[in-house]
Amino acid sequence: MSDLKPVANLLFEAGTLKATARTGWWMAGVRQPETVAEHSWRTSLIASIIAQMEGADPARAALLAVWHDTGETRTGDVNHLGKKYADGEADPRDIATDQVAGMPEGLAQAVNEIIGAYEAQDTLEAQCAKDADKLECMIQGIEYKSQGYENAQRWIDNSFGRVKTASGKAIAEALLSTGTLDWLREALGETP
């Protein structure tokens, strides 16, 4: 077997996303926002749901979603405003190429293909993953707003407006009419 030290390096590098805060929420007043890793996990779950509803491959959509922000190990989470001032914003495909340097060729190709497919947005699975990214941000905004962060409404509205698939839009509508603890009330058999 070839040298797997580059694989080990990527796995340790990916772990930094567990401590990388999603910085846009600071503008909404959230002092300790969720991390990129937390965001990516729920994004993957949402992508699999949207893909199933859209007749796409749920596993492929989830795979694209779980990898979609891995470049942020190198750039940090640059919020939308910060990107306006970034000198030549880094292309996630270039970052991935650097991250997989030295890995076994087939594995490096696979990672580059995953990142490239997400960025190209030319498959239904990639579009489901992108919608999942927007929906996860919307859900997080709803949760933060329910915790008293009224400025999170901007993220809710912006995310809602960027969802493209029919299934993603239907889920977004359901989210807006569902309380963040409705699931708990229903699980306990409580009546509204």
| Domain assignments of the chain as residue spans, ordered by start | 5-187
- Is 19's pLDDT higher than 70? yes
- CATH tag for 5-187 (out of 1.10.150.80, 1.10.3210.10, 1.10.287.3510, 1.10.510.10): 1.10.3210.10
Say whether pTM exceeds 0.85: yes
- b/e 20-42 (16+ beta carbons within 10 angstroms → b): bbbbbbeebebeebbbbbbbbeb
- Give the pLDDT confidence of 89-142 residue by residue, as tens digits: 789 999 999 999 999 999 999 999 999 999 999 999 999 999 999 999 999 999
Return the pLDDT at 10. Answer: 97
Confidence band of 88 (pLDDT split at 50, 70, 90): low
